[in-house]
Amino acid sequence: MSRHAPLTLAAVAALAALASAAPVRADEPAKPAVRFRAVAIELEVGAEGLAAYQVELVVRSGDASIVGVEGGTAAGFTAPPYYDPAALHAGRIVLAAFNTKVSLRPGRHRVAVVHLRETGPAPSYAVEVVAAAAADGARVKVRAVLVDVKGVKP
């Protein structure tokens, strides 16, 4: 075997790989890049305290799907909230959690983190409180806020 044989074999292999690749057409638009993002759901709790909540997160516009849910950092709400797993990969999910032993005090508390898969222009989201209650079952007013895990409001 000549000393140029390995170089020739490598060149032939490279040409074969290029020939088998699908041709790229200049007039075809490029597929948008896929991004993953985590948004936190934070609840602003009033003077009554909070023991249970139910919130709905909706993708209002854009191409996004929900790919995961985890608990928050608030005492008593670190476990993932309850949700229907069939809602994953859809544009809407309802999350719910309760803890009658630990009530959240007045202030802002992170109760869940939702992981999203996005493509194309930045999607917009909405979160709404469906129900909230104190430890005795009395309805309470809370406000839900979405916060990018990096600290930027989505």
For residue 12, the model assigns a pLDDT of: 46
Instruction: Supply the pTM of this predicted model.
Output: 0.76
| Longest distance between any two alpha carbons in the chain, whole Å | 88
Report which residue type is found at 100: T
- What is the secondary structure of 7-73 as a DSSP string? HHHHHHHHHHHHHHSPPPPTTSPPPPPEEEEEEEEEEEE-TT-BSEEEEEEEEEEEEEEEEEEEE-S
What is the number of other CB atoms lying within 10 angstroms of the CB of residue 35? 13
In this prediction, residue 24 carries a pLDDT of: 53
Give CA separation, 110 vs 45, 56, 69, in Å. 11, 15, 13
Cα dihedral across residues 17, 20, 26, 32: positive or negative: negative
Tens-level pLDDT at each residue, the chain (154 residues): 455 444 444 444 444 554 455 555 666 677 778 999 999 999 999 999 999 999 999 999 999 999 999 999 999 999 999 999 888 878 899 999 999 898 899 999 999 999 999 999 999 999 999 999 999 999 999 999 999 997 555 5
| pLDDT (0 to 100) of residue 89 | 78
The CATH T-level fold of domain 32-148 is Immunoglobulin-like (2.60.40)
